[in-house]
């Protein structure tokens, strides 16, 4: 059943759906944890200094939007016969930063809130992880993506706090003899990982949009 849920037909239907509050981009199909892909072939080390992970969120209706970053600290990608086969990377949740607030006090308050147990709970869970479980060639007839130049569907286990879910999203993958680059831009539902302000049924949490946009630019070297 889980494999059927991640079939290209379902992926296409999910990617075509839109959310009025979230950025107009692909919505990641989300399912249960899967077995990690075998990392065959050559290993490429992710370059933390050249790799970026941006986030965007807001209140309902796009009110009070905020954009920021998280640091990817380590990871590897595997390439076999010119094709991406697997890999993983680690994110420092303690590195979360807001990029749009110019008032330092307000920025510190927001960052502190995001680091609290209501969201990332960085004191208890200082890292998050993504581990590739499947890589498929992108087929526009099976699912229309809003990502320019999408080449693949990537599925992987995303671990936030103490919860792991499998997400599938389109990506643009570029491979040379010495480098691997991968770009993606998609939305996830934060509540599926237990990120709820003052609990899942609290009216204050309802005022924050569930969708969080993640914009990923991975760069790895042999």
Mean pLDDT of all residues in 71-94: 98
**CATH 2.40.128.110 holds for 2-221:** yes
User: What phi, psi does 94 have (nearest 5°)?
Assistant: -70, -15
- Rounded Cα–Cα distance for residues 87 and 68 (Å): 25
152, 169 in Cβ contact below 8 A?
no
pLDDT value, residue 9: 36
Mean of the per-residue pLDDT values for the chain? 86
Output the pTM of the full model.
0.85
Residues 6+ apart with CB under 8 A from 141: none
Task: Give the model confidence (pLDDT) of 177-215 as tens digits.
Answer: 999 999 999 999 998 998 876 656 655 554 567 899 999
Given a cut of 60, is residue 117 above it in pLDDT?
Answer: yes
Band (pLDDT 50/70/90 cuts) for residue 98 is: very high
Residues 6+ apart with CB under 8 A from 109: none
pLDDT value, residue 126: 98
Given a cut of 50, is residue 16 above it in pLDDT?
Answer: no
Task: Give the model confidence (pLDDT) of 152-165 as tens digits.
Answer: 999 999 999 999 99
Handedness of CA 104, 107, 109, 111 (dihedral sign): negative
Task: Give the model confidence (pLDDT) of 34-57 as tens digits.
Answer: 999 998 999 999 999 999 999 998
pLDDT value, residue 65: 86
- Rounded Cα–Cα distance for residues 66 and 39 (Å): 36
Number of residues that this document lists for the chain: 222
- Rounded Cα–Cα distance for residues 191 and 123 (Å): 20
């Amino acid at each position: 059943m889980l494999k059927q849920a991640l079939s290209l037909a379902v992926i296409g239907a999910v990617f075509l759906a839109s959310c009025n509050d979230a950025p107009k981009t692909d919505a990641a199909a989300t399912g249960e944890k899967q077995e990690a892909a075998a990392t065959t072939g050559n290993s490429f080390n992710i370059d933390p200094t050249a790799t970026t992970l941006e986030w965007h969120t807001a209140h309902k209706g796009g009110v009070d939007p905020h954009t920021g970053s998280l640091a990817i600290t380590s990871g590897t990608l595997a390439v076999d016969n010119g094709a991406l086969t697997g890999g993983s990377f680690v994110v420092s949740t303690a590195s979360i930063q807001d990029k749009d607030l110019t008032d330092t006090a307000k920025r510190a308050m927001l960052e502190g809130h995001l680091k609290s147990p209501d969201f990332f709970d960085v004191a208890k869970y200082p890292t998050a992880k993504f581990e590739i479980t499947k890589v498929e060639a992108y087929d526009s007839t099976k699912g229309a993506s809003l990502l320019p130049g999408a080449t693949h569907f990537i599925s992987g286990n995303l671990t936030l706090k103490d919860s792991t879910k499998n997400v599938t999203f389109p990506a643009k993958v570029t491979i040379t003899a010495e480098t691997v680059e991968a770009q993606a831009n998609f939305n996830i539902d934060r509540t599926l990982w237990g990120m709820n302000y003052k609990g899942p049924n609290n009216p204050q949490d309802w005022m924050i949009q569930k969708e969080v946009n993640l914009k990923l630019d991975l760069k790895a070297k042999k």
